[in-house]
Amino acid sequence: MRSGAGAIAVRAAMEMIGVPYSWGGGGIRGPGFGIGKGAKVWGFDCSGLTEYAWARAGVPIGSTTQEQWRSGIRLTKEQVEPGDLVFYDNDPGSAGPEHVGLAVDATRMVHAPYTGQFVRVDPLDRRTFMGVVRPTESAANLDPPVDSADEV
């Protein structure tokens, strides 16, 4: 394994297996009540689970899937290591990604899949795969990207 931080993140996420999916739920402190259709469910949505896992490792990655997509170094699927964030574009009609999981190894991820399900381990390879990000403290970029036309 490449780093202690990745191992800590994987361990933290794996400890949450069985926790209910809650849209908008969870974050750096662990499971929580979500919003909207998740308002009455104590648990995690996909990005809440990954934010929690990396917070346990001491690395801020942001609370939304889009923030997390910008929170580190982009890699190919062949480079994935435990702790890397794996992203999926579930809605081709909107700018993705819409889903994130945490790589357990080169073939599996732990994630909070969707309403009515629970945090679980599933195959990493699926047709909506978009990319891999390795969180790093130095590469964390939680602000929206700056449009080059707006730069002075």
CA–CA dist 152, 142 (Å, integer)? 21
How is the beta sheet containing 72-75 ordered, strand by strand?
Answer: 72-75, 129-135, 85-88, 99-103, 108-111, 120-123
Q: Pick out the chain residues at pLDDT < 50.
A: 1, 139-152
pLDDT confidence of residue 138: 54
Say what the pTM is: 0.88
The domain locations on the chain are 4-138
pLDDT confidence of residue 93: 86
CATH 3.40.190.10 is the classification of domain 4-138: no
